[in-house]
Amino acid sequence: MAIGENYTNDFNGNGGDQKKLFEQTYYSRLRFKNETESNSLNISYNAGLLKIGIDQMLDGFKYDNKITISLSPTKSRILVEQLAALEEYIAAGKINDNVAFGVNAGMKEKVTFIAFHVNPEDNGIIITIGTFDNAGKIIDRYDYRCRTQYHYGLTWSNLDSNKLDKTFYDNTEYESIKSTIVDFARFMNGAAAYSVADLTRYDSARILNKMNPIYDALHIERYNGGGKSFQQNSFLNNSGASSGRSIDQIESDFMD
């Protein structure tokens, strides 16, 4: 495969050379642990989906995944609205821990769902991920209880003598998970990613300006959008042919 070559189409655009794209999984730095129940909640991304999973904590900092739900950008946006409904329900004051707000994912024999509801013991949020069958019967479910009286800041009444009190933020885990869902739904439109790619467009060009002579000397093929090539107009740099005009060209013409 030539450097810069993608997948699915042959070099004539006829779709004859099908190559499967490898989907890398990216793991969020966010992972919440509930030592009391020996489980944790993790977040990852793969194939354009937001994945939220509940793991059982094992010895030696190891985890056994029990269940994971995969949310599309559309389902994530709906879940954002459901979380707003949850917060309105909590604000109303009459709380039933069996009332929950969430979404389902998938249309197979077993449908995965995620539900947010209130822990009656401490008014913290419980995140339930489970499956139900076509008849609507819940097959299995796992709960992650967001911790309360755990995450705190410090407020000093006298800094010199270090007299302080803890200020607890019981919604820290819920708000962090909520912001993840909100950001995924918002930024999967590609606008934020493209802005980063646009601002860093010269970085790859600088690298390729150093690498292209090596590729040429070793006769390493690159893909230039129209076929295999030994020339330096790989799509990975900014000298590739394009039917459109860049903002730099437009601004240059305007200033002339």
Residue 107: pLDDT above 80?
no
Q: Is the dihedral of CA 197, 201, 207, 211 positive or negative?
A: positive
Which of the pair, 110 or 146, is modelled with greater confidence? Answer: 146
Model confidence pLDDT, tens digit, residues 207-224: 878 888 888 888 887 665
pLDDT at res. 240: 44
Percent of the chain with pLDDT over 70: 79
Q: In which band, very low, low, confident or very high, does the pLDDT at 8 lie, cut at 50, 70 and 90?
A: very low
Model confidence pLDDT, tens digit, residues 134-153: 888 999 999 999 999 999 99
Which of the pair, 215 or 86, is modelled with greater confidence? Answer: 86
Q: In which band, very low, low, confident or very high, does the pLDDT at 55 lie, cut at 50, 70 and 90?
A: very high
Least confident of 12-21, 29-38, 211-220: 12-21
Domains and CATH numbers, the chain: 26-189 (2.30.31), 201-255 (no CATH)
Average pLDDT of the residues in 66-83: 96
